Amino acid sequence: MARMGFFDVENRYAALDAKHDPLVKINAVVPWEAFRSRLENVWRKPPDKRKSNAGCKPWDAIVMFKAIILCALYNLSDDQVEYQMRDRLSFVRFLGLALEDKVPDAKTVWLYREQLSQAGLWRPCLRISTAI
């Protein structure tokens, strides 16, 4: 198997663009950063509520929100969205990750959805995903 060259990833992205990847259009029109403060309030515990600073650092709130959007857009289970985030170049680009970056696992996606639900934000998220 040949190693990837310097421009191979860019060429693959260009090929996706030529096929009109809908996720690129979504990224262009949705102001993701406008959701950040509200999503971080759900996803990150305040420092005084944390038991310690040990453990994995939390995922970026926008990455997690986009993972939830992917689940809704493509009717994917948590396990399936984890697999697709690892496998599909278009998903990796939509999430704003590099090919070598880790992706959230299925349990993390499930936990994030549960926290959105407990905060009363799950239904608004569904409305956003159906509007897209």
pTM: 0.79
Task: Please check whether residue 76 lies inside any domain of the structure.
Answer: yes
Mean pLDDT of the chain: 83
| CA 70/CA 65 separation, integer angstroms | 9
Task: Please check whether residue 1 lies inside any domain of the structure.
Answer: no
Task: Please check whether residue 52 lies inside any domain of the structure.
Answer: no
Task: Please check whether residue 2 lies inside any domain of the structure.
Answer: no
Q: How far is CA 69 from CA 60, 62, 72, in A?
A: 14, 10, 5
Task: Please check whether residue 26 lies inside any domain of the structure.
Answer: yes
Task: Please check whether residue 37 lies inside any domain of the structure.
Answer: yes
Cα dihedral sign for 56, 83, 6, 97?
negative
* Lowest-pLDDT choice from 35-39, 42-46, 57-61, 83-87: 42-46
Mean local confidence (pLDDT), 51-60: 75
Mean local confidence (pLDDT), 1-23: 73
Specify the number of domains making up the chain.
1
Task: Please check whether residue 39 lies inside any domain of the structure.
Answer: yes
Give the three-class secondary structure for 76: coil
Domain membership of residue 115 as a residue range: 8-47+57-131
pLDDT digits (tens, 9 = 90+) for 66-117: 999 999 999 999 999 999 999 998 999 999 998 889 999 999 999 999 988 8
CB 59 within 8 A of CB 95: no
Task: Please check whether residue 66 lies inside any domain of the structure.
Answer: yes
Predicted pLDDT at 126: 59
